[in-house]
Structures are given as C-alpha cells and as structure tokens.
Structure 1
Amino acid sequence: MSTIHIALLGYGTVGKGVYQTIKTHQKRFKAILGKEVKIEAVLVKNLEKHQLPDPDVILTNKFEDIISLPKLDVVIDAIVGKQPGFSYLSQAIKRGCHIITANKQMFAHYGRELLSLAEKHGVSVGFEATVAGGIPVIQTLRKLLSVNHIKKVHGILNGTSNFILTKMREEGCSFSDALSLAQEKGYAEADPTNDVEGFDAFYKAMILSEVVYGKQPDWEKVRKQGISSITLEQIELFSKFGLRFKHVASLEKTTKGIHCSVKPVLVSSSHPLFHVEDVQNAVSIDADIVGNISLQGPGAGMFPTASAIVEDLIQLETERARPDEGADHASFAHEPLLTWVLYGEVKNLEIPESIEIIGKINAKALLVLAKEESIENLSNKIKGITVYQLLGDFTFSGTEESRFPSAHSITGS
C-alpha cells in the first residue's frame, strides 16, 4: 500500500491535535484514500520542550531537515505569525508539495501569493482551518455554492469575544471579569488584544473575502471595532428588549466595492446568529437560490482545528484540484439601507433627512433606518452617541413608541 508522506510544522495545541488525529484514524484514511498517512517529521522551535510519542518520527528545529526529506508529499502548517510560515510554505510549494495551513494571519496577508505559486507548480492549497475552526465554511463556499450568488455573509468568527459577551449577559459580570474568566479557561491569551479588539476576526474576514469575491477590500477602509467598550448597562438594557450583543464580521459587495466590517452589533431572535453562545463560531450566508445557510460549531481548539486540516488532506488527495484563486460568487447591490440603534443622549437629537426614524426603544435608544455612510456622518458630528447595527427583525412592545412618521427631531423621553 502506498503512503502519503507528511511534515508537520509546529507542535503546539493544533499540531498535537493533527498528530493524534492522523495516528488514530489510519483505518479511515486507508478506507477513503487507499493509502496510509505517515508523519515523517515535526518542526518545533525549542527541541527541549517537546517529545514525540513515536521514535521513528524526526523532531527538528531546522526547516532544512524538513524540506530535504527524501519523501515529502504534504506540508501542514500549524505555527503562528506571518513569518516564517510564508517562507516555509513557499519553499514547500516550489519543491512540489501540497500545503495545508491553519495560520490565519499569514494567509490573510499572503494567501493570494501562495495560491498563485501553487498553481504555477501544480499543487494544491488547503486553508479550511484558517476560518472558524472545525466549521466547513471554506468548502461550502468554494465547492457547494458554485452557482449561487452570495448576497452577504455575517460571521461570529472569534470564540473568545463571543464567550465574554455571553458571560456578561448571563452572569451579569463586567467586561474585565468575563475576560479574566476566559483567560482562566484558556480561551483568551495573556494579551487578549487580537481577540477582543477584532484583529483575529478581521484576518478571517479577509480570507472569506478572497473565497467569495476573489479579492480583499482595502484594509484601511474596513471598520474594525472591538468589544471592550461594551458595558454591562448596555447589555442589560438591550436584553430586556430581546436583543443580544454579538461581535460580527460582515461582508457584502456593493456597486461601490467590497464592504467589510468587524464590529459589535445587536442581534434579534429572528437572526441565525442570535443563539450562537459561549466559544461557538457561526457563519450565516445569504445566497440568491438557496436563501440562508447557517453553519455553527467550535471555532478553535485542538481537535476542531485538526478536523479541518485532515478534511483538507482528504480533499487534496481525492480531488487533486487546481488551486482556486477565488471566484466571484457575489451579487452586486446598491448601498443598502440598514437598521441601526442610536444609544445615548437621544433627547433633542437632530436627525438628518437621510436617516429615517423607525421608533424609540426607550429613553436612551433610538431605532433608525439609513445607509452606513449617513450613520457614519451623524456619529462623527455628534458626541455622546454610540451606534450599533441591528441584525434581524425587531418588534416594539406595546409600551414603546413604534413609529415617528415625519419627525426628524426627537424631543422628550
């Protein structure tokens, strides 16, 4: 029986998960591929910190030992940072190896270059694990929605921020207390900036943009906002009206180009992301034929990420497909009217004609309908107002004012 020879870069949480999964699923590999899958070598940074369970597998801290292996078919990248991962994978491709990566930061920066290089050398690239862990969103978008035009994509792409918002709402704790709990459980790093300020979700959104549109938006024009400014008071207020805070990455292609944001939004119970709690990730896809598809599952961790990597391995071996540089599955839309909540000192607030007032949730929260440009102009001019997009339908209770047909100045409370 022939063998698929693999080198594994990195032996942290994800690397160990891949190693164990490959070792324990040999019968499945043989049944599906008709081949054995063998890890030939593992690259680590510090040899003293690691010990492999199999003595015949090479453990090295030199990439030269990896790239010069006599037999090497696939290189799996489970390290972090833009470098040296990009350099290592480029060398692997030039040798004629397929590559699979879980490195979202690197792939957001260099994915297009790696895909182009892979096409030139006739090899394939797997990157399912870069977005939403074990959820097969990349394969769904690339393989299963080829005819559909994607209207928009909303995703909860970071489990740490979702866990924090869930705990604040369920347990009535502050942001700092919820963050400390996330760190105790191992969900958040000692420096949680990448998670709570939206960088992690941003990199994943850029990768999704490549898959859906074949390109990325201008990084400087993407609105990126974290969750650290959300207060317990805000969470409790909106919870009374059936709304939940979620940290959401959004993608949509308009006549002005690709629109992307990563920001806290309010979600009603009618939206697919409403029930996504704790460390779960989810992606909601709206397409012209199928309608809405929602994928939910664990977004990180040893075995969810390992699952995405080994499924990529199966795809590479069974399809041997030409690398997909990204096909534009998106339909164009004019800049849409969106629903927004204006929170803060809304009393005596002057509202321009470009913004339609729908109603007042309570004395501190106003519901409006507007294009994002109009909302940005308003928020830039007025202090003391925080703006949140609202996803899903919202129904006013009988005690709340439900319509303001003509007024564009709210007075009283």
Structure 2
Amino acid sequence: MLRKLSAANLAAISFLFAIIAASTSLTDSTITRNAFYLAVLFAIVAFISSRPRVLSRDAILISAAIFCIGLSQAVWLLRFPATITPYNEYLTSATRLLCGAVLVITLGSLQNSLSQNVKNFSKGLLIFGFFYTSGVGIYLHAQNPDMRLEINTVATITAYIYTLQSLLTIYVITNTSWRYKSISTVIVILLTIWVILLTETRTALLIYPVLLLIFFCRRQHMTVKTILSFGLLITLMVAAACHLFTTATERLTNTVNELSNYQKGNGDSSLGSRISMWKAGIHAIEQAPEGQSATHRLDLATQYIEQHEGGNPEALRNIVYHLHNDFIEAGSLQGAAGIIALVFFFALISVANIRYMHTHAMLLLLILPTLIIGMVDTLFIDHRFVTSLTLMLVIYLILQPSRRSTPGSGIQEN
C-alpha cells in the first residue's frame, strides 16, 4: 500500500502525524507516542522512495545534534543496566531521541516536497492543538482549583512544554496573512500567561515575556503603537496576576527571599535545594568524570549535602529523582561524554540555524528557552519533553521559508 503513494504524499502523511504528536504531547501520551512512531515510519519510507535523494545540510546537523544526546543516554544505560528499572525515563527518552534523529534527517530533507496546502493545513492543526491544550488545562484546574496545574505530568514540565507550544503557535500565526492575526496573537499570549500562572512555574513566567519582546523586536514590529500596546498588556497582566493568582505571584516574589535565606544557612526551599543539589552534582562529576550508576551518584550527592549543605532536607528529598540542571545531571551520570553531547546539541543546532536556515525562529523560540530552562531544571530525561522538542525541531525546519532557489543547500545521493 505504501509503495503506491508518492514520496511527497508519504512525507505529507509523516508531517501530519508529527503535527498531531506535537499537539497532543501534554493531553494524550498514547496518541503522541503512536503518532510519533508513525511519523518516523512514513518519513523513512518517503525518503527511501524519493528520487533523487538529497540530504539537507540543516537536517543533517540537527539530526546529529539529537543523535548525540540519545547515543550518550543509550551508552549509559548499557554501561549501567541495573539502573534501567528505577530510571526508565532514560530508556524512553533515549529511544525517542534516536528515533527523532531519524525523523529529522529523513523528513527534514524532504521539506521542499511538501505542498503549501499541506503546510497551511498543518499550521491550522497546530493552532487548534494549542487552543485544545489550553482548554484542557483550564478545565483540569477548574476540577482542582487549589492545586498547581498538571496536564498528565508535573507542573513544571507542563509549563515548559506549553510555553514552547505557545511560542511555536505565535510564530505560525505571525507568518500567516490572516486579517486578524494581531488579535489572535494577543489571545494566545493571554492564554499562555494564564496557564503558566496556574502551573506556578517561575522560570516560564520570567522567560516568556522576554522571549516575546525579543521576537517582536527582531520582526521590526516595535512601533510606538506596538510598544504602548505591549506595555498596557503587561500592566494588565501583572495587575490581574496579583489579584487572581496570589500563590503564583508569591512564589515569584519569594525568589529573592529564598536566595537570601540560603546564604544565611537556611536552604530548605525550592531555590535553596536546587543550589545544594547543583553543588552535590558537581562534586559527583569530580569524583567520577567517566560516569557512574545512579545509585553511586545518589550516595555521593547525599554524603555531600549532609556534610557541606547542613543536610538540606528539601535537597535530600529531591535528589533521588534528578539534579535540576541538564548539564550537571548528564555529567554526574554519563560523565564528560554527557556534557559534551549537550554542548554538541546546542552548538550544531545553532550552526544549522545561523548558517543554513532562512529564519532564526528555531534558535530564539525553541533552543534558547530550552537552554535557559535546562540551567534550573532537568529536561532531557523527561520523555514528554524530548518528544515535544524533537517534533518542534522538525516543524520549525519544515515551516521555514522555502529554499527551492537556494544553491548548495543539500547533499545529493545516487
């Protein structure tokens, strides 16, 4: 049956599955998983069926970046197989990353075979997916108004994935010819701030408006009218947040107090525990730069916190799971190879974006927030996040301005 379809049709089916997977990454993990693997399957068949086969340079670099992290995690699992059961997130995330690398290099290399109609339909599906996720989030909070919003995962990961979905949606809307795209953008921004406040996630609350400001400045939309409108919008949001979301705003304003208390020796707080865990993780890296099992790292980190961090209770409770920093998390388990893999990931995607792509949206709206968030939390061991990240890399790659007339943009295979 697949042989009867052209490479362009197979690529279109793969891309639509990727859109579905990205749109349901928070709301339905089963649909996401199935759509993700179907996207990979159709992309492979489409690439094999294509003539001539051309490997896109940007797709090669981005695929290699994803492959580096997936390989590093897979090698660690092979070295320390006893840790697979308690750390099964690593097994799932490594699998998704390695499959995602295949998806990027195959489907990304076929980006010019997709028709504009397919891309336009995909954009509409993405926008619908964002509003659907927003509706689910608001509904779930209405069922449990006294709890932080969680959409099938912890509140922080909910906020991070949703923030990236929002930024992608804004990118898509601003690149359409809709008459009411400005109003649509404002609605997306207001919804995003609302949902992030419900998750009470400080990092997302802080970086989201900054990224928006940079994005609109780069697009040269910052006229006096736009600046005044943006200022009014921010003022209204701050006023509404202070009145309606007292818990979220208290968490935000308590950041300075938590840092001050840590410096005074009281680190039993969210920020204080993170600092203790970062120090413990760096100590674990120094003790085993070649990598180590999760059990051995836990012993080293626990001993360090008890001896040098006053036995920080909040840190000891959380260190069982991860170290709240991607580089420290990777280095303390996978060794220097894990840190190098992360450096390669960000470096290769940056080179691909700057050197070969016609827009820097991927770098600004996806890679930059991932890097910033990864400094205060652990993202690459969460299979939902890495799946969303991989899919969004594909989507930004496909939806970039056409390169049909760009010479030297790919490597042809015989």
Fold shared, TM-score > 0.5 on shorter chain: no
TM-score (norm 1): 0.23
TM-score (norm 2): 0.23
Structure number having the greater strand percentage? 1
Structure 1 or 2, whichever has the larger Rg, is: 1
Higher relative contact order (CA 8 A, sep 6+): 2
Structure number having the greater helix percentage? 2
